[in-house]
């Protein structure tokens, strides 16, 4: 039984929403960030990255206090407004290739603790504690956890009918996306959604494992304060058939002392290797991998498929780690080893090719993306994917909806 709640959100005024909302902070290069901050005084980047010119000179505590002060400035200047009553939102993102639609709601920390909200990725404790401190000092969050739920005919019908009503926002962004937001604020609609989500036995975190873990940690530390908002964290709930899962491809700086010829021989112990020359090869199915080395593409087919192995052992990202990255290339810690980097599969394969051709990296591996059934099966069995196994869309715009603690 999954519990969701409406909440009294803070959001931009309709005339400024296109100027306020932004991509997540990590998506911007330093040059982009400086340009947007200089160009657009309404950008939420001013809130989440205050005093950007002096970032290296201030402490974390001062930076968090700066975030809070700038956020309060945006509210005082009526750039951001508060809902009078708790609401849900229906949110749609139209990209060039796909439309994503889901419900913005508060989800329960207790459900997270009781494994009703399931996870498939591990977290780094220092990142969890850092974001917990951020939440504690700023008192708000604007990046919801992306959560999937099993497709429901009833909920899909509700969404389709609700989208025919007048939205509170409909705006375009510089990356040519269309964003539309509807407010769900009638008592009957709120009750209906809560009752239908109560029928769903489990929800699954698709993206935002650190944010949900931070919300739990903050709740455990501050629950004695009696703040009811700490019992929930903001989530974007989307049907599992509506998420888009990309792979993370891997690039490694060197061959760990191996010659090209010896490296290929070692890889051939576990893979059937086909030389694709300069064909921009990408794997077509599970157990297939691509490799780019010395200006050539190779197709790698795993030799030892065994359905009797665990779901984790049969995960493509785990197979690559167990057969190549760890034993041959000497990559032990996938999160922290500086010899490896990751490129979202959403990016063109030419991006990887250029990095290797320029000498920045020695070899690259392309993976076939996991599907939602693999992610759910791992979560149901309390198994954890290797780091950077999935890049999942949609991505939420910062500053669109704010959950205050």
CATH of the domain at 310: 3.30.1760
Shared-domain flag, residues 330 and 211: no
Alpha-carbon gap, residue 312 to 310, rounded angstroms:
5
Helix 209-222 and helix 125-138, axial crossing angle in degrees, nearest 10: 60
Please report whether residue 103 resides in a domain: yes
Please report whether residue 382 resides in a domain: no
Provide the token pair at 203.
């929800």
Long-range contacts for 123-130 (Cβ within 8 Å, ≥24 apart)?
A: 123/209, 123/210, 123/213, 124/210, 124/335, 127/210, 128/210, 128/213, 128/214, 128/217, 129/214, 129/217, 130/60
Shared-domain flag, residues 296 and 150: no
Alpha-carbon gap, residue 84 to 10, rounded angstroms:
10
Give the pLDDT of residue 350.
96
Shared-domain flag, residues 140 and 40: yes
Alpha-carbon gap, residue 63 to 69, rounded angstroms:
10
Write the pLDDT tens digit of every residue in 171-210: 999 989 999 999 999 999 999 999 999 999 999 999 999 9
Domain that residue 352 falls in: 246-369
Shared-domain flag, residues 285 and 336: yes
Shared-domain flag, residues 225 and 319: no
As a three-state string, the secondary structure of the chain is: CCCEECECCEEECCCCHHHHCECCHHHCCHHHHHHHHHHCCCCCHHHHCCCHHHHHHCCHHHHHHHHHHHHHHHHHCCCEEECCCCEEEEEEEECCCCEEEEEEEEEEHHHHHCCCEECCCCCCHHHHHHHHHHHHHHCEECCCEEEEECCCHHHHHHHHHHCCCCCCEEEECCCCCEEEEEEECCHHHHHHHHHHHHCCCCEEEEECHHHHHHHHHHHHHHHHHCCHHHHEEEEEEEEHHHCEEEEEEEEECCCCCCCHHHHHHHHCCCEEEEEEECCCCCCCCCCEEEEEECCEEEEEEECCCCCCCCCCCCCHHHHHHHHHHCCCCCCCCCCCCCCEEEEECCCCHHHHHHHHHCCCCCEEEECCCCCHHHHHHHHHCCCCCCCCCEEEECCCCECCCEEEC
Give the pLDDT of residue 363.
98
Alpha-carbon gap, residue 54 to 59, rounded angstroms:
10
Identify the residue with better confidence: 36 or 330. 330
pTM as predicted: 0.92
Please report whether residue 224 resides in a domain: yes
Shared-domain flag, residues 69 and 195: yes
- Domain total for the chain? 2
pLDDT greater than 60 at residue 54: no
pLDDT greater than 90 at residue 322: yes
In 3D space, the residue among 285, 91, 109 whose CA is nearest the CA of residue 213 turns out to be 109
CATH of the domain at 130: 3.90.1530.10
Average the pLDDT over 281-306 and give the result: 96
Give the pLDDT of residue 55.
56
Please report whether residue 388 resides in a domain: no
Shared-domain flag, residues 266 and 139: no
Alpha-carbon gap, residue 248 to 317, rounded angstroms:
9
Ramachandran region of residue 322, left (φ > 0), alpha (ψ -120 to 50) or beta? Answer: alpha
Give the pLDDT of residue 49.
84
Average the pLDDT over 130-152 and give the result: 96
Per the CB < 8 A criterion, the answer to whether 177 and 94 are in contact is: yes
pLDDT greater than 70 at residue 326: yes
Please report whether residue 111 resides in a domain: yes
- Name every residue whose Cβ is closer than 8 Å to that of residue 57 and which is 6 or more positions away in sequence: none
Give the pLDDT of residue 129.
95
- Name every residue whose Cβ is closer than 8 Å to that of residue 267 and which is 6 or more positions away in sequence: 273, 291, 300, 323, 324, 328
Alpha-carbon gap, residue 385 to 392, rounded angstroms:
14
Tell me what percent of the residues of the chain surpass a pLDDT of 90: 85
Give the pLDDT of residue 40.
94
pLDDT greater than 80 at residue 52: no
Provide the token pair at 84.
């009078």
Please report whether residue 70 resides in a domain: yes
Average pLDDT of the chain?
94
Write the pLDDT tens digit of every residue in 207-243: 999 999 999 999 999 999 899 999 999 999 999 999 9
Give the pLDDT of residue 175.
87
Give the pLDDT of residue 31.
87
Shared-domain flag, residues 332 and 397: no
- Name every residue whose Cβ is closer than 8 Å to that of residue 77 and which is 6 or more positions away in sequence: none
Give the pLDDT of residue 170.
97
Shared-domain flag, residues 164 and 176: yes
Shared-domain flag, residues 64 and 177: yes
Write the pLDDT tens digit of every residue in 66-81: 999 999 999 999 999 9
Shared-domain flag, residues 217 and 166: yes
Alpha-carbon gap, residue 73 to 101, rounded angstroms:
31
pLDDT greater than 90 at residue 35: no
């Amino acid at each position: 039984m999954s519990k969701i709640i409406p909440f009294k959100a803070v959001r931009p005024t309709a005339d400024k929403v296109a100027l306020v909302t932004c991509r997540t902070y990590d998506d911007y290069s330093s040059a982009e960030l400086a340009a947007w901050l200089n160009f657009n005084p309404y950008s939420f980047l001013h809130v989440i990255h205050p005093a950007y010119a002096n970032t290296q000179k201030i402490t974390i505590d001062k930076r968090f206090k700066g975030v809070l002060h700038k956020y309060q400035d945006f509210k005082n200047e009526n750039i951001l407004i508060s809902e009078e009553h708790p609401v849900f939102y229906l949110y749609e993102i139209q990209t060039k290739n796909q439309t994503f639609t889901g419900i913005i709601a508060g989800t329960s920390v207790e459900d997270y603790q009781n494994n009703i909200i399931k996870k498939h990725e591990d977290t780094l404790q220092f990142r969890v504690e850092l974001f917990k401190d951020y939440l504690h000092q700023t008192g708000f969050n604007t990046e919801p956890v992306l959560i999937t739920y099993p497709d429901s005919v009833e909920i899909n019908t509700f969404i389709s009918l609700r989208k025919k009503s007048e939205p509170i926002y409909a705006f375009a962004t510089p990356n040519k996306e269309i964003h539309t937001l509807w407010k769900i604020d009638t008592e009957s609609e709120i009750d209906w959604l809560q009752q239908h989500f109560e029928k769903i036995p489990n929800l699954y975190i698709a993206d935002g494992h650190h944010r949900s873990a931070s919300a739990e940690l903050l709740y455990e530390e501050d629950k004695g304060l009696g703040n009811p908002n700490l019992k929930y964290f903001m989530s974007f709930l989307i049907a599992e058939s509506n998420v888009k899962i990309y792979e993370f491809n891997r690039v490694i700086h060197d061959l760990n002392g191996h010659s090209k010829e010896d490296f290929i021989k070692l890889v051939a112990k576990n893979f059937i290797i086909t030389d694709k020359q300069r064909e921009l090869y990408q794997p077509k199915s599970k157990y297939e991998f691509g490799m780019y080395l010395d200006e050539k593409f190779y197709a790698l087919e795993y030799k030892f498929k065994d359905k009797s192995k665990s779901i984790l052992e049969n995960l493509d990202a785990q197979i690559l780690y167990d057969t190549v990255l760890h034993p041959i290339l000497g990559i032990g810690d996938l999160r922290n080893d500086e010899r490896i980097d990751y490129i979202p599969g959403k990016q063109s394969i030419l991006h990887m090719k250029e990095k290797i051709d320029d000498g920045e990296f020695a070899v690259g591996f392309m993976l076939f993306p996991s599907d939602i059934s693999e992610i759910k099966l791992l979560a149901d069995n309390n198994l954890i994917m290797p780091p950077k196994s999935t890049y999942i869309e949609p991505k939420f715009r910062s500053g669109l909806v704010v959950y205050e603690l």
